[in-house]
Chain A
Amino acid sequence: MQLSNRSKKMVVKPMTLKERMYLPAIAAGLGITIKHFFRKKPTIRYPEVKREFSPVFRGLHVLKRDDLGRERCTACGLCAVACPAEAITMISAERKKGEEGLYREEKYAEVYEINMLRCIFCGLCEHACPKAAIYLQPDVMAPAFYSREEVIYGKDRLVENADKRANAGLDRVNGVRKLS
């Protein structure tokens, strides 16, 4: 049955003398391989040379603070709901008197954990967050893990350092990142 006009009829011809000599074909093959020999190699020598990340790269999470150094997260749980891998768990707590400098909202996350083995770095948590609290850094990768205990990131490792803010580059509009 003829399905298309593109089918090609194969004819197996006996090999010509040139083909049976192998040598012309071998010479042509050697020419092709030597061209690859001198070609520029695409290899990136990893530990010395690091690959440039795209500006929309989604790396390791960070829990942001606001300009006054207060934690933005209000433990609403929308990130946990949005997470397709169910990697986020949290326990909320009420802000006490005198803690206004620590937490921006009246409710905050007492425990906030991300299981980095479950996380697929899809960025939906960042997308879901109404307080712009969770953020996937564009320049930091999740490291390799040597034990299962290391895998679960608590607040001690997620909340950004007050005096060393994570590379924000927050050119997001309504939570959506733009290519800068």
Chain B
Amino acid sequence: MESVLIFKAIFILVVFGITLLTATYSTLAERKVAGFLQDRLGPDRAGPYGLLQPLADAVKMFFKEEFIPSSANKWLFIAGPSLAMLTALMTSAVVPFGDSIIWDGQEFKLQGMEINIGILYVFGIVSLGVYGIMVGGWASNNKFSLLGAIRAASQNISYELAMGLSIIAIMMMTGSLDLNAVVKGQAGFHGMAWNVFYQPLACIIFIVCAFAECNRTPFDLPECETELVGGYHTEYSSMKLGLYLFSEYTNMFVSSAVISILFFGGYNFPGQDLLPFSHNVITIIGAAVFFGKILFFIFFFMWVRWTLPRFRYDQLMGLGWKSLLPLAIVNVMITGAVILLTGK
């Protein structure tokens, strides 16, 4: 029991570090990908291939003036970015990064928190995530910030519905709210029984909603610089702004992980039961594959950002309420009917 606790403590620290590291380097990757997609090179001055750029950015952020507007609500103004960062980091606790390591006859699961309501937990935290933006935008006492915050709130609420409904189909198939069980359920066909093949519609809906929840283009209305100056973080400077931007990348990491788990097999990889390796080696390969999937989806987030223009606000709401929500409900009904007819 004690060894499990020690393992969990170390594992949580490692996951925390990896999450932060990935988010840090996502900022560089974003600029690199943006550059490459636009026939440029992106930042390459700081270190080889610009690899020290995130460090330089962090130093810059720390040395900027910490400014709080006189009319702002001071406590909430500070609480906003902290909340955003906190909620962004909390989700990775339930993400199963791999199967399990068997050491000395004891099984260690590569998951921070083994709870059987993982999906519910993720949803709870994701819906809390909007508070960081909401509180920050409201506390700034600035019309543009408030508008951005209101947009963020209504957008998140609208897309959470469709997101939740798209997952219900997955839960009906798996029969469990446990993320680990969802991954295990996709292990068939030599690790290729991914939910995306059974639930393509739910997958598309979920990915679209994930973009909206992360406030990424084409749904980046809360912070669109053309109409709202900077949206909810207009008044922020220094590391508080840094935390907001950082939480966005952390959210991207976590959403990519959740997308991979729910629809793309998590740590399953093709041919995993055919390899003549021990359980532990398979687990480590699986974890690496899972990270590959996460990195691909982070790249996909950026790829889409530099491909699509922003939606208009009424288009955004129309898409959420009139298209995605009915489609998700239809998907749930079809899944239910199929389960009823085939009896499994």
Contacts and interface: CB of A to CB of B under 8 A. Distances in A.
Interface in A58-91: none
A5 interface: no
B40 A43 contact: yes
B44 interface: yes
Q: Place the interface of chain A in its size category.
A: 10 to 19
A43 B50 CA distance: 15
A36 B37 contact: yes
Interface in A37-52: 37, 39, 41-43, 45
A41 B303 contact: no
Contact of B307 (A29, A39, A42, A45): A29
A39 B303 contact: no
A36 B41 contact: no
A36 B36 contact: yes
B139 to A, nearest CB: 36
Contact of A33 (B44, B204, B307): B307
Nearest to A29: B307
Contacts of A37: 33, 36-37, 303
Contacts of A144: none
Contacts of B39: 36, 39, 41-42
A26 interface: yes
State the main secondary structure of chain A at its contact with B: helix
A36 B304 CA distance: 13
A36 B34 CA distance: 10
Interface residues of B, number: 14
Contacts of A41: 36, 39-41
B38 interface: yes
Interface string B20-50: 0000000000000100111111001000000
B6 interface: no
A10 interface: no
Nearest to B304: A30
Contacts of B308: 26, 29
Contacts, number: 34
A37 B38 CA distance: 7
Interface in B31-78: 33, 36-41, 44
Contacts of A26: 304, 307-308
A43 B33 CA distance: 15
Interface string A104-148: 000000000000000000000000000000000000000000000
Interface string B181-223: 0000000000000000000000010000000000000000000
Contacts of A43: 40-41
A41 B41 CA distance: 7
Contacts of B303: 30, 33-34, 37
Contact of A23 (B37, B41, B204, B306): B204
Contacts of A23: 204
B342 to A, nearest CB: 28
Contacts of B41: 41, 43, 45
A45 B306 CA distance: 23
Interface in A6-41: 23, 26, 29-30, 32-34, 36-37, 39, 41
Contacts of A45: 41, 44
A30 B40 contact: no
Contact of A30 (B36, B44, B307): B307
Contacts of A42: 39
A30 B307 CA distance: 6
A43 B308 CA distance: 24
A158 B40 CA distance: 38
| Among B37, B38, B40, residue most surrounded by chain A Cβ atoms (within 10 Å) | B37
Please give me the 5 A-B residue pairs with the lowest Cβ-Cβ distance, nearest first.
A33-B307, A29-B307, A43-B41, A37-B36, A33-B37
12 contacts: A23-B204, A29-B307, A30-B303, A30-B304, A30-B307, A36-B38, A41-B36, A41-B39, A41-B40, A42-B39, A43-B40, A43-B41
